Amino acid sequence: MHYEEGEMQLWETVGSPLILLSEFSEAAVMKKYAVKPDAETLDIANTAARKKSITVVMKIYWGDPREKICEAVEHIPLSSLVIGNRGLGGLKRMIMGSVSNHVVNNVACPVTVVKAHH
């Protein structure tokens, strides 16, 4: 029990270990990290990985997405980053802040922002 508590505190600080995409939707993995991945997103990632013959890994972070994405880019050597944009209205964006805008302005690697499809 104490080991699991210490492990969760570590994950909250540095994020999870890298998780193979093929293992990500397993019940034990989802329970361990308390996540419920989006089935459509996993299907898209699995299809792309299969078609391009690449290995896809995931890493889970907990906390403010603006800060955690920037921290991840510092620790994981990325040549580029693709990030989504929900397209919040002006008032919501002003109150909540734009994650994609923050990331674009605070990471060293090139960032591609993909607008939400409505």
Number of domains within the chain = 2
Provide the greatest CA pair distance for the chain: 46
- The answer to whether residue 69 sits within a structural domain is no
Choose one of 34, 62, 90: the last residue of a domain: 62
CB distance 89 to 96 below 8 Å: no
24 vs 17: CA distance, rounded Å: 12
pLDDT of residue 8: 66
- The answer to whether residue 115 sits within a structural domain is yes
- The answer to whether residue 68 sits within a structural domain is no
**Tens place of pLDDT per residue across the chain (118 aa):** 445 556 667 777 788 888 999 898 888 888 888 888 888 888 988 999 999 998 888 888 888 889 999 998 988 878 899 888 866 666 555 554 588 889 999 999 999 988 876 6
Choose one of 22, 42, 62: the last residue of a domain: 62
Domain that holds residue 24: 1-62
Which amino acid is present at 59? K
110: Cα within 13 Å, side-chain hemisphere:
3
Which pTM was predicted?
A: 0.70
Q: Hey, is 20 helix, strand or coil?
A: strand
Q: Which is nearest to 118 in space by CA: 93, 95, 84?
A: 84
- The answer to whether residue 67 sits within a structural domain is no
Q: Which is nearest to 117 in space by CA: 30, 29, 44, 12?
A: 44
pLDDT of residue 114: 87
